[in-house]
């Protein structure tokens, strides 16, 4: 795109010209001092025909040095500098669709590639943020409308006890949904600002995962999901509350994407000084392009399930795991498996 803010071009031109002038002035000054010193120490005598030699040397030196400096300065392309400055100003103004073209030299192409990549990432982040705001606003409004509607019905109508209980269950479910969304947003805000792991204790991570499975029993029981918990007890050091959010988010995702009467497997393996915790389900395969971005904030690859989440659960998982100096990855073919690697407890 084109930019109208051109005063920078004249500023750049003036600075380059000023630089050349200063260099040439310094060259002349140093040459005069050098010649004066030669005359002073008697290398050149002013009463001989050699008197003209210093001036010849001065002229030749000025021409040669000035030509070299001008040649070097002329190799500094003005247009790329102006384009980069204008592009940076455009990005600062929120125009993330800005792209620049700098020329064919290796340095120009490298600057162009890096700048355009930065602009593209900023644009993607802005799109994700906008999508998140829209989705979250919709998701937040939907349960509120539902709660309000059923509450009015309960207030204004005489209903059978069974119907009342059914509507009250809906209100409870929608309230829990609101609470989950608020909790995820708060958790993400908390872990994003955290750079040092606090409240580190030794605990049984196996028992913690079993408790999370029980906590989510209502969700997986409704879908008739079968669990295979093939692991012994393992102890680690970490922030117990933060890691609990990791297992809640991963298991909730597995339940959400598992088919009716599907299976979820949880495995633990000790490898060197780490423990690998894998959670698998037999749901649909995650596309390769989605796997690359699945841990990005606000990203939702499967739009058919977008109404069931806000796209920040896996971002929380990634943030918390990295705070524990671990890693998390996903592999999806016949099974979709999320694997969390954490440092083992050092005896």
Rounded distance, CA 107 to CA 298, Å? Answer: 35
Rounded distance, CA 251 to CA 278, Å? Answer: 11
Rounded distance, CA 283 to CA 28, Å? Answer: 78
Q: At what angle do helices 78-92 and 7-40 cross, to 10 degrees?
A: 140
Q: Is 258 within 8 Å of 281 (Cβ atoms)? A: yes
Q: Is the pLDDT of residue 83 over 50?
A: yes
Q: What is the pLDDT of residue 115?
A: 86
Q: What is the pLDDT of residue 52?
A: 55
Q: What is the pLDDT of residue 144?
A: 86
SS3 259: coil
Rounded distance, CA 245 to CA 264, Å? Answer: 18
Taking residues 86-90, report their average pLDDT.
Answer: 83
Distances in Å between the alpha carbon of 213 and those of 208, 282, 305?
9, 17, 21
Q: What is the pLDDT of residue 281?
A: 92
307 band by pLDDT with thresholds 50, 70 and 90? very low
Rounded distance, CA 90 to CA 80, Å? Answer: 15
Q: Is the pLDDT of residue 6 over 60?
A: no
Nearest 5°: the CA angle 37, 38, 44 is: 145
Its sign, for the CA torsion 35, 39, 44, 47, is positive
123-158: per-residue pLDDT in tens? 777 766 666 666 666 667 777 888 888 899 888 888
Per DSSP, 300 falls in state -
> Does the model's pTM come out above 0.75?
no
Q: Is 320 within 8 Å of 192 (Cβ atoms)? A: no
Query: Average model confidence (pLDDT) for the chain?
Result: 78
CA atoms within 13 A on the CB side of 139: 21
Q: Is the pLDDT of residue 222 over 50?
A: yes
Lowest mean pLDDT among 71-85, 115-129, 165-179: 71-85
Q: What is the pLDDT of residue 206?
A: 93
Give the tokens for residue 78.
């003005």
Q: What is the pLDDT of residue 1?
A: 44
225-254: per-residue pLDDT in tens? 999 888 888 999 999 988 998 999 899 989
Taking residues 155-176, report their average pLDDT.
Answer: 87
5 band by pLDDT with thresholds 50, 70 and 90? very low
35-44, 138-147, 302-311: which has the highest mean pLDDT?
Answer: 138-147
Q: What is the pLDDT of residue 306?
A: 42
Lowest mean pLDDT among 139-148, 203-212, 239-248, 273-282: 139-148
Q: Is the pLDDT of residue 41 over 60?
A: yes
Q: Is 265 within 8 Å of 334 (Cβ atoms)? A: no
Q: What is the pLDDT of residue 210?
A: 93
User: Of 250, 215, 235, nearest to 320 (Cα)?
Assistant: 250
Q: Is 217 within 8 Å of 345 (Cβ atoms)? A: no
Percentage of the chain with pLDDT > 70?
Answer: 69
Number of H helices, E strands in the chain: 10, 7
Q: Is the pLDDT of residue 305 over 50?
A: no
DSSP readout, 140-174? Answer: HHHHHHHHHHHHHHHHHS---HHHHHHHHHHHHHH
Q: What is the pLDDT of residue 66?
A: 65
User: Of 249, 233, 219, 264, nearest to 340 (Cα)?
Assistant: 249
Percentage of the chain with pLDDT > 90?
Answer: 19
The whole-angstrom distance between residue 301's C-alpha and the CA centroid of its chain comes to 16
Q: What is the pLDDT of residue 16?
A: 64
Residue with the larger pLDDT of the pair 291 and 246: 246
Give the tokens for residue 126.
């802005």
Rounded distance, CA 21 to CA 133, Å? Answer: 55
Parallel, antiparallel, or unpaired: how do β-strands 200-204 and 235-239 relate?
antiparallel
Q: Is the pLDDT of residue 109 over 60?
A: yes
């Amino acid at each position: 795109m084109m930019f109208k803010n051109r005063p920078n071009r004249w500023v750049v031109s003036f600075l380059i010209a000023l630089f050349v002038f200063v260099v040439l002035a310094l060259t002349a000054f140093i040459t005069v001092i050098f010649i004066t010193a030669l005359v002073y120490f008697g290398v050149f005598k002013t009463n001989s025909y050699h008197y003209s030699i210093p001036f010849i040397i001065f002229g030749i030196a000025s021409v040669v040095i000035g030509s070299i400096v001008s040649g070097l300065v002329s190799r500094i392309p003005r247009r790329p500098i102006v384009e980069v400055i204008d592009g940076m100003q455009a990005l600062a103004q929120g125009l993330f669709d800005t792209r620049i073209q700098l020329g064919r030299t290796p340095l120009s192409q490298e600057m162009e590639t890096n700048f355009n990549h930065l602009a593209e990432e900023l644009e993607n982040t802005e799109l994700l943020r906008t999508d998140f705001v829209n989705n979250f606003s919709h998701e937040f409004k939907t349960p509120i409308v539902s709660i309000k509607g059923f509450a009015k019905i309960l207030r204004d109508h005489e209903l059978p006890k069974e119907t009342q209980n059914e509507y009250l269950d809906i209100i409870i479910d929608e309230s829990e949904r609101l609470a989950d969304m608020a909790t995820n947003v708060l958790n993400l805000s908390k872990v994003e600002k955290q750079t040092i792991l606090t409240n580190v204790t030794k605990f049984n991570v196996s028992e913690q995962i079993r408790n999370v499975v029980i906590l989510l029993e209502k969700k997986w029981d409704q879908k008739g999901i079968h669990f295979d918990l093939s692991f012994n007890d393992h102890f680690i050091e970490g922030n117990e509350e933060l890691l609990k959010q990791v297992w809640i988010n991963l298991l909730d995702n597995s339940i959400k994407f598992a088919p009716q009467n599907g299976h979820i497997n949880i495995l633990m393996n000790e490898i060197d000084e780490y423990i690998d915790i894998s959670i698998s389900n037999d749901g649909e395969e995650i596309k390769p392009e989605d796997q690359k971005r699945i841990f990005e904030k606000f990203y939702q690859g499967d739009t058919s399930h977008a109404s069931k989440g806000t796209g920040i659960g896996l971002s929380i998982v990634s943030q918390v795991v990295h705070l524990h100096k671990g890693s998390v990855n996903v592999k999806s073919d016949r099974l979709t498996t999320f694997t969390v690697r954490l440092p083992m407890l050092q005896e």
